Structure 1
């Protein structure tokens, strides 16, 4: 993580980034904090990873707090916002009652590894939909009373929603649902000046797809699919999310931005 940017485009904004303990989510949380936002760093199971992100943000002069709650289980949304409210109150001294305000919701948390249809199981399919589609849907619902007018909802989709990846069919379906939600929400929330967009990363160097990069040959093959001849980094996605979170993106809504480095052009 680099030092704080000079622009501070998100000063006085409050953000919540799900799945922010590692990978793309971590990059997004760090970038939004660098731009001045107070960031809720959500994690499902790895508290240590989330606390490391929070500590790094604070070391670099930013503001952040952990938000622990597993997604895809009963009561997940209530648990997320209970932890979010507690963190905001601790950081800002907000009133002890009522919902704390939110300006930017980034639905990043997700699970993968569904396999081709011949190997799929109902349990894996249900888990994929529960975390990747159902949780974001109800997180937005839970956020609406606290999301300030002019706010931002940003969903992290996947290139798999646009390209055919039969080996990840259920995962692709869950991300396709997220893109459809993006379009519908953009129409519904426009009256409040809230923009809703999604980003579609391609192959990014994260733990989630490490199995695809186990050999130099496999890594080179993935890199070759990008027009730039490299695998993406979390910052490549985080910088686009930061733009969508800022006022500079005020005239963009209902869009799915390809952030794949020109994969398979």
Structure 2
């Protein structure tokens, strides 16, 4: 515990699901965590209260990651309330599974705005308030390489995140800012269940996972904490599958 003591972290899309799991883990490891939420204020406030009850520190900021003015506001809030940041986790994302026959320009724009442009411009907005020697962790997806049917837009958007990570790991290396990525497999979250992850569908997914179970937000959070810590200080440009062995 406390591998992130005295660190300041910003997590996008942190009120639910994988993001909430990451916020909890980073806070428990000693970081002060600022996280963004877009619409679910109740969930954000509940998470802040949960973390503060445990004796840790978290701050929720309403921000739409597809708007550069909101991103600037997010980092100004972090800087004014806490100081320069050491860790950035680009977690906010959206998904859809649609065959090419029905996909629309509007849906492709929605996916790319949140999954590609947002992490790129989040990093840009963060840099002025970022400590040299910090860590950026992008949350991608296994679909970038597994490329399932009926996911042409979603898979393409997540493949683009792979490129962002590889390029910026080199570009930000002179500042000793490490840039790594986690590509989760199938994760049981509130969002996935609302989108149709039934018990029957989960059984089908598990059949293709060598380790024999669905993933949980904690699985992604644990790897995030490692990449954010000094234990990974010689690791950058890596894209790590956290998927139970599924490829």
Q: Give the TM-score range, shorter chain.
A: over 0.9
C-alpha distance in structure 2 between counterparts of 1:187 and 1:71, whole Å: 24
- TM superposition shift of 1:114: 4.6
1:13–1:102 CA contact under 8 A, matched in 2: yes
Answer yes or no: is the 8 Å Cα contact 1:157–1:199 preserved in 2.
yes
Which residue does the alignment assign to 1:28?
Answer: 22
Larger relative contact order (CA 8 Å, sep ≥ 6): 2
> Which of 40, 47, 71 is equivalent to 1:46?
40
Equivalences for residues 126-165 of structure 1 within 5 A: 126-165=109-148
What is the CA deviation profile of residues 51-87 of structure 1, one whole-angstrom value per residue up to 9, with x for unaligned ones? 111111111111111111112246332232244345x
**TM-score normalised by length of structure 2:** 0.95
Contact 1:197 1:253 in 2 (8 A): yes
Whole-angstrom distance in 1 between the partners of 2:14 and 2:172: 25
Structure 2 residue 175 is matched with structure 1 residue 181: no
1:64 corresponds to: 58
Distance 1:74 1:193, change over 3 A: closer
**Shift >4 Å, 4+ stretches:** none
Does the CA contact (< 8 Å) of 2:78 and 2:84 recur in 1? no
- Against the structure 1 CA distance between its residues 73 and 145, is the aligned structure 2 distance closer, same or farther, given a 3 Å change threshold? closer
Contact 2:64 2:71 in 1 (8 A): no
CA–CA distance in structure 2, aligned partners of residues 119 and 226 of structure 1: 29
In 1, the alpha carbon distance for the partners of 2:176 and 2:114 equals: 27
Q: Structure 1 residues 232, 68: CA separation in 2 closer, same or farther (over 3 Å shift)?
A: same
- The CA deviation at 1:218 is 1.6
Per-residue deviation, 1:158: 0.1
Paired residue total: 246
TM-score, structure 1 as length reference:
0.89
Against the structure 1 CA distance between its residues 124 and 73, is the aligned structure 2 distance closer, same or farther, given a 3 Å change threshold?
farther
Is residue 17–residue 41 contact of structure 1 (8 Å, CA) maintained in 2?
yes
- Structure 2: distance between partners of 1:80 and 1:115: 32
